[in-house]
Amino acid sequence: MWLLYQFPLCPFSRKVRLLLGEKGVPYEPVRESPWKRRDEFLDMNPAGQTPVMVHSERGPLRPLIDSIAICEYFEETVDKSAMISGTAADRAEIRRLVTWFDTQFFRDITGPLLFERMEKRLVHKMAPDSKALREAMKAVVAHLDYIDYLLDNRSWLGGSTMSLADLAAAAQISVADYLGGIDWKSHGQAKRWYIGMKSRPSFRPLLAERMEIINPPADYEKLDL
């Protein structure tokens, strides 16, 4: 069995979990809090970040580390539900958008929300900074505008079929949504796409999980936003 070291609000672990769900790869989540910098975890991954995957019986000798490397690994080894498909140019566009959500969306929205509303409360016992929260909310509008723009021209974010770009985006948005950061007002197209993502069986286990102390808004799990 694959073990996946993660915590419920890690957006990069969520991206991997959505991919594993779509591909039907069974795994067992193992709770890891990277901010505790546990020695055994740092020995596995010197970068100190989730997700990390190891196989309890067979599988690669080394742990799989880094969400991009993990997604490419399962894309290469499991044929079912290809998530980086099409021509080389199509695949480049999918990978560009994965980086866009992993990096830009995370830097502007998910990262600040996790720091202000999770880490400060859980680790530092501090109140969130309202200026940082306001800036993240402003960035949400720009990012949802961009998703609307992509969906004006395509059925899915990365092209004509569902891809890792949709999973990366939904993973980040779901964490921001859990932390009360998403306002869908005047983003009907993005909202319809996200409801579609939420209805997928791969999404259900993620929506059912809770992070200690922190509760999501009432409509977090709902399919009619």
Contact positions vs a copy of itself (CB under 8 A): 46-47, 60-62, 64-66, 68-70, 72-73, 76-77, 87-89, 91-93, 95-96, 99-100, 103-104, 146
In the complex with a copy of itself, the residue whose CB is nearer, 72 or 119, is 72
Q: What is the closest distance, in whole angstroms, from the C-beta atom of residue 224 to a copy of itself in the complex?
A: 31
| DSSP at 53 | E
In the complex with a copy of itself, the residue whose CB is nearer, 88 or 218, is 88
Side chain identity at residue 98, one-letter code: V
Six-digit token string for 118: 């999770």
Six-digit token string for 4: 């996946």
Q: Of 45, 13, 3, whose CA–CA distance to 167 is shortest?
A: 13
Q: What is the closest distance, in whole angstroms, from the C-beta atom of residue 87 to a copy of itself in the complex?
A: 8
In the complex with a copy of itself, the residue whose CB is nearer, 45 or 202, is 45
φ/ψ (deg, to 5) at 129: -90, 120
In the complex with a copy of itself, the residue whose CB is nearer, 7 or 106, is 106
Q: What is the closest distance, in whole angstroms, from the C-beta atom of residue 25 to a copy of itself in the complex?
A: 13
Query: DSSP letters of 125-160?
Result: --PPPHHHHHHHHHHHHHHHHHHHHHHHH-SBTTBS
Q: What is the closest distance, in whole angstroms, from the C-beta atom of residue 70 to a copy of itself in the complex?
A: 7
- C-alpha dihedral, 84 to 89 to 93 to 94, nearest 10°: 0
- CA atoms in the 13 A half-sphere facing the CB of 125: 0
Helix (H, G, I), strand (E, B) or coil at 54: strand
Q: Of 23, 212, 186, whose CA–CA distance to 119 is shortest?
A: 212
In the complex with a copy of itself, the residue whose CB is nearer, 93 or 203, is 93
Taking the C-alpha atoms of residue 129 and residue 120, their distance in angstroms, rounded to an integer, is: 9
Q: What is the closest distance, in whole angstroms, from the C-beta atom of residue 134 to a copy of itself in the complex?
A: 22
Q: What is the closest distance, in whole angstroms, from the C-beta atom of residue 19 to a copy of itself in the complex?
A: 14
In the complex with a copy of itself, the residue whose CB is nearer, 107 or 222, is 107
Q: What is the closest distance, in whole angstroms, from the C-beta atom of residue 130 to a copy of itself in the complex?
A: 27
Taking the C-alpha atoms of residue 164 and residue 50, their distance in angstroms, rounded to an integer, is: 18
In the complex with a copy of itself, the residue whose CB is nearer, 146 or 184, is 146
